[in-house]
Structures are given as C-alpha cells and as structure tokens.
C-alpha cells in the first residue's frame, strides 16, 4: 500500500488548502492509537482523522463517525487542553519523508501566544503522534510512549526534548539537482538493474512507485549510467515536478473481483481496474475504512472468538468420546445373549471351566457358540456378570445418546455465535454478543454500570424490489426477537440449511413475489457461514411452522413444511 512520502506530499497540499487559519473546535480519541480533530472556520470537508495504527497509519479527512469512549484517554485530554480554540498556522512535510507537521497557535494561561506542533510520523509499526511545544521543543505528550528500553536512539514521553526520527540521507524527490543525483548514485554504488533501485535514491518513494519508474525507464530505453544518465534525470525531474505542482490523479486500483488492491496519486499500475476520486482524503477514506474497521473489530472480538472456539473444540472432543462410547455399546447385545444362553445351560456349567460350548437357539442354523467363563466364579456369578455388563452398556448408551444430542445442540449454537461474530459491523454488536454469552453462562456474569451500558442495536432492515420489508438478526438475541416476537404468523422465515446463519424475516403485509423470495434467500446466504460459497441452500417457511423447543439456547428453533432455494450470497445494498 503506497502511502509513501510522495502521496503524503499530495495530502500536505490538500491540508494546506483546507485547514490553514481554521480553528480546532473538537478533539476526540475513539481508538487508543487514533485521534480526530474537528475544525471551524476553514474549508475542511470533514473531520481530520490521524491514526498511528501499526497496520494502517494515515491522516485524512473523513465523514465517518466512531463512538468515543466514556472516559477520554490522557493524550486526548492533553490535546484538548492545548489545541481547542487554537488556529492552524502551518502544515508542512519534512524532507519529502513520511513525517507531517501541523502547527497551531493558541494563547496560554497568561494570555501569551504559544505555538504547538502536532507531529505525525507515518512509519508502519513505528508510527506515532506527538504534541510538541515549539518555544523549547518539549514533548507535551505522545499517543505512544517510547522509553529508552524500547528505542535507544530517541524517547517520546512528556517533558523531554523532542527528537525527530533519524534523518534520511536520500534525496528529496521534490527538490534535487542533477549534480546531487549523480553524486548520490556514484557514492552509493547504485545501479538501476533492479526495480526497487529508486527506493534507495529518493526518500518517501515506495516500492510500487519505484517499480513504475523502473518499468517506464526500461520501456523508453532511457540510460542511467555515464554521460547519458541525463535522460533518466530529465524523466525523473519531469515526473516529480508534475506532482510537486499538485498535478495528481487519485486512483483506487481493484482486481477482477472488485477488491481494493492499492491506491496512489498517479497511475502506477497497468493490470488493475481503476476508479478515480477527487481528493487524497476521499481515496484514503474509501480504501482504509473497511480494512481498518475489520482489523479493529477482529482485535475487539478476539477474546470472544477464542472463548467460543475453545468451547467448540471441547464439544468436538466430547462428540468423539461419546461416539466411541456408542461404538463400544454396540456389543451389549452379545453380553445379553451370553447371559441368556448361560441361564438356559446353567446346570451344564462345570465349576472351574474357562469356557462352555452351548447351542445358540436364537440362530436359524442351530450353530453352537463358545462362551468364555471366569474360573474364579460360580455358574450363577458368571451369568450375573454378563447381565451386569449388558445393563451397564445399555445405560451408558442411553446416557451417551442424550449427551450427544445436547452436545450437538450446543455445537450448533456455538457455530452460530462464531458466524455472528464474523458478521459484526461495530463495537456495540460485539458487546451484544458478549452479553448473550453472559446470559448463556459462557462468560461470568458482570453487572453493567451506567457507564458500561451500551445502546442496543436493531436488526438490519432492507426493502425488496417489490417493496416488502426484510429484517435480518445480527445475533441470536435478535434472531429470537424477530422470529418469536416481531414476526406475524403469515410472515416468511428464512435460514440457511444445516449451517449457522441469521434469521431472515420477510413481512407478508403485501403479496410476496418469487423475486422477493430470491432476494431474501440471497441475504440469508450472505449472513451465514456459507457467505464465501458460490451457492447456498436456504430453507424458507411461514412463521407459523417455526417453533422454539423448551430450554433451547438463543436462536435455536425447529421448523417443518419448508421449501428450499439455492441462492448466491451477495451483500445487499442498505437503504
């Protein structure tokens, strides 16, 4: 992903045109490594989100809102103290690298003007956001504290002097001369035989951009060595100068399945489909929103996923044990037969015999059978021994069958919870699943305080092409509500056949067409464990045919008189 120094230059141009001379109105920190600044009086197209995420560090405007924690983190409080009401006086990029500085002017406690710099380092897992007081270069706070134990070159925590990351010796792509270019190549023994060579020459140039430059030079047969290296230099100066004049083309690159693969401020890929957008912020917002959201949701739900997975493994292990027990219990009839045959021949058993040959009168062929005996037991004790084995295996079989039924029900429930976790779109839905697991006893119940109580989400709502309302449960509590309380007995109920999934309800207050049935089946297939399959079997029936067994876990129902549609899972368009 090419959020390199060149793309950051494009972002720098956008920020200068949008927030210079505007004032900070709000500061929030929805994530532990992400802050959001809201401005007033400028041309900002939305809130400025600044992320120091190890996976997706970035800075751009966004119109997407996230819920904020009840208690703001310390870094957020520091930013509010020094930046709210301050005016943006400068935005600059440091030496063409991935460091962006936004300077704010505000009045201190005594009424004197002070300047603070918000330094944004977009450097992968080393990304950080730091507030620095300009007059003495002191760190007010940073979103990630770096101690000498972590980094021996520099530290980042309050009340120490700020030190920039190690300065790059590479050339600034937006400001370099032919002599400097030639000198750098010679001193560092750089040849242009590899497509990543330009990463080693210019700061802030990513590998995808380097490959694009290399392929263009190779295609045009430009020479990079000796006196003719001027032709490469001419191409490079022309390419970078066009970007330095804010001549950008913001492109999203997609594969054949329309999955986002990369983005850039220039057309550097030939093999991908392209979508052009208007601004760098719009590009980053579209590209990172789903990726970053899913990554953070996975982090938030990782403990739930691990808990449910461990219980699934426990159920599978128990299933194997019970099935092994049932296999062993299949021999019970043999012991019953031995007991009955020994009873019929009890007076023929000689004390101390290790076996006896008797006629099997249950056999149509009149064959004999050899029955082992315990020489330490009497004839009647041997008979009782076989009856005891038979009764023990019979009871074990009955218990195993009952336990296996309950175990399979629990396994189905846990599989449905895993599917619901994978379909979560926000933190509230994750919390609802956590509450569900508390109610079902998988998590120790904890009384929620007013601070911890979250607003309940509603089932998803769609409208079919023919105007029928379609509702989808996002967890088992919602599934029960839709099926058992919300739906009318004439409404149509959908669920994937034999695999975990959401309950889908089609309201039948108007005639339900075949097209609506197909659309509802597609939605049910998408919100199921089979969402990545090409075709999924979906059962549907009227609500009157759906029942919840007594004592069943949330979301677990039985149904009959159903029909089946084979649907292709597709994400529906939200209203």
- What is the domain-level CATH number for residue 76? 2.30.310.10
Residues 440 and 308 occupy one common structural domain = yes
Window from 145-149, 346-350, 413-417, 462-466 with minimum mean pLDDT: 346-350
**pLDDT band (50, 70, 90) for residue 247:** confident
In this model, does residue 367 exceed pLDDT 50? yes
The answer to pTM > 0.75 is no
To the nearest whole number, what is the mean pLDDT of the chain? 87
Residues 441 and 480 occupy one common structural domain = no
In this model, does residue 118 exceed pLDDT 90? yes
Number of domains observed in the structure of the chain? 4
In this model, does residue 452 exceed pLDDT 60? no
- Residue 190 has a pLDDT of 80
Residues 37 and 138 occupy one common structural domain = yes
Print burial letters for 256-274: b (CB count within 10 Å at least 16), e (below 16). Answer: eeeebebbbbbebbeebee
Residues 272 and 356 occupy one common structural domain = no
Residues 485 and 433 occupy one common structural domain = no
| Within-domain flag for 40 | yes
From CA 551, how far away is CA 455, in angstroms rounded?
A: 28
Residues 77 and 104 occupy one common structural domain = yes
| Within-domain flag for 164 | no
Residues 211 and 120 occupy one common structural domain = no
Q: Which of 447, 478, 494 is a domain's end point? A: 447
CA distance between the termini of the chain: 31
From CA 181, how far away is CA 375, in angstroms rounded?
A: 100
In this model, does residue 41 exceed pLDDT 60? yes
CATH for 351: 1.10.287
Domain residues for the domain of 65 are: 5-142
In this model, does residue 401 exceed pLDDT 90? yes
| Within-domain flag for 452 | no
Residues 308 and 271 occupy one common structural domain = no
**pLDDT band (50, 70, 90) for residue 228:** very low
**pLDDT band (50, 70, 90) for residue 227:** very low
Q: What is the mean pLDDT of residues 435-443?
A: 87
Window from 95-99, 229-233, 328-332, 387-391 with minimum mean pLDDT: 229-233
Residues 9 and 133 occupy one common structural domain = yes
| Within-domain flag for 28 | yes
Print burial letters for 117-150: b (CB count within 10 Å at least 16), e (below 16). Answer: bbbbbbeeeebbbbbbbeeeeebbbbbbebeeee
- Residue 198 has a pLDDT of 87
Window from 71-75, 287-291, 438-442, 560-564 with minimum mean pLDDT: 287-291
| Within-domain flag for 153 | no
| Within-domain flag for 358 | yes
In this model, does residue 454 exceed pLDDT 70? no
Higher pLDDT, 215 or 226: 215
Residues 512 and 419 occupy one common structural domain = no
| Within-domain flag for 157 | no
Residues 133 and 202 occupy one common structural domain = no
| Within-domain flag for 103 | yes
């Amino acid at each position: 992903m090419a959020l390199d120094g060149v793309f950051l230059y494009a972002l720098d141009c956008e920020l200068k045109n949008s927030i210079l001379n505007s004032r900070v109105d709000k500061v929030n920190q929805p994530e532990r490594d992400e802050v959001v600044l809201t401005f007033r009086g400028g041309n900002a197209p939305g809130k400025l989100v600044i992320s120091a995420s190890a996976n997706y560090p970035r800075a751009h405007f966004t119109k997407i809102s996230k819920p904020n924690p009840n208690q703001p983190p310390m870094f957020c409080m520091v930013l509010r103290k020094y930046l709210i009401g301050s005016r943006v006086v400068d935005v600059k990029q440091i030496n063409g690298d991935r460091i962006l500085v936004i300077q704010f002017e505000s009045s201190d406690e005594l009424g004197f003007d002070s300047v603070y710099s918000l330094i944004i380092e977009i450097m992968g897992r080393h990304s950080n956001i730091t507030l620095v007081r300009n007059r003495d270069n002191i760190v007010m706070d940073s979103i990630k504290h770096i101690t000498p134990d972590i980094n021996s070159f520099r530290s980042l925590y309050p009340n120490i002097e700020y030190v920039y990351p190690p300065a790059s010796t590479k050339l600034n792509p937006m400001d370099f001369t032919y002599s400097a270019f030639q000198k750098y190549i010679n001193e560092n023994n750089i040849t242009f035989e590899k497509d990543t060579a330009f990463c080693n020459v210019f700061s802030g140039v990513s590998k995808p951009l380097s490959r694009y430059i290399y392929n263009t030079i190779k295609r045009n047969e430009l020479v990079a060595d000796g006196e003719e290296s001027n032709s490469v230099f001419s191409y490079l100066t022309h390419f970078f100068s066009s970007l330095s004049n804010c001549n950008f083309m913001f492109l999203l690159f997609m594969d054949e399945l329309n999955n986002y693969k990369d983005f850039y401020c220039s057309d550097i890929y030939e093999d991908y489909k392209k979508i052009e957008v208007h601004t760098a912020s719009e590009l980053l917002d579209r590209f990172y929103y789903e990726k970053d959201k899913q990554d953070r949701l996975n982090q938030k739900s990782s403990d739930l996923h691990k808990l449910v997975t461990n219980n699934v493994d426990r159920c599978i292990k128990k299933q194997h044990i019970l099935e092994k027990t049932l296999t062993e219990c299949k021999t019970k009839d043999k012991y019953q037969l031995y007991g009955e045959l020994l009873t019929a021949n009890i007076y023929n058993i000689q004390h101390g015999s290790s076996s006896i040959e008797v006629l099997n009168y249950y056999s149509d062929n009149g064959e004999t059978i050899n029955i082992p005996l315990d020489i330490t037991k009497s004839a009647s004790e041997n008979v009782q021994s076989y009856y005891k084995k038979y009764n023990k295996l019979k009871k074990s079989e009955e218990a195993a069958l009952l336990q296996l039924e309950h175990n399979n029900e629990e396994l189905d429930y846990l599989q449905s919870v895993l599917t619901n976790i994978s379909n979560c779109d926000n933190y509230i839905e994750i919390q609802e699943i956590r509450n569900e697991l508390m109610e079902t006893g998988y998590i120790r119940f904890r009384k929620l305080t007013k601070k911890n109580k979250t607003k309940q989400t509603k089932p998803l709502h769609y409208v079919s092409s023919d105007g029928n309302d379609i509702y989808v449960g996002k967890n088992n509590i919602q599934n029960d509500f839709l099926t058992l309380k919300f739906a009318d007995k004439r409404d149509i109920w959908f669920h994937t056949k034999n695999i975990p999934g959401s309950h889908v309800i089609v309201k039948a207050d108007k005639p339900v067409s075949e097209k609506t049935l197909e659309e509802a089946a597609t939605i049910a297939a998408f919100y199921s464990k089979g969402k990545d399959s090409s075709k999924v079997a979906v059962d549907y029936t009227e609500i009157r045919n759906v029942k919840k067994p007594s004592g069943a876990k949330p979301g677990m129902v039985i149904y009959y008189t159903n029909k089946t549609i084979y649907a292709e899972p597709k994400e529906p368009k939200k209203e």
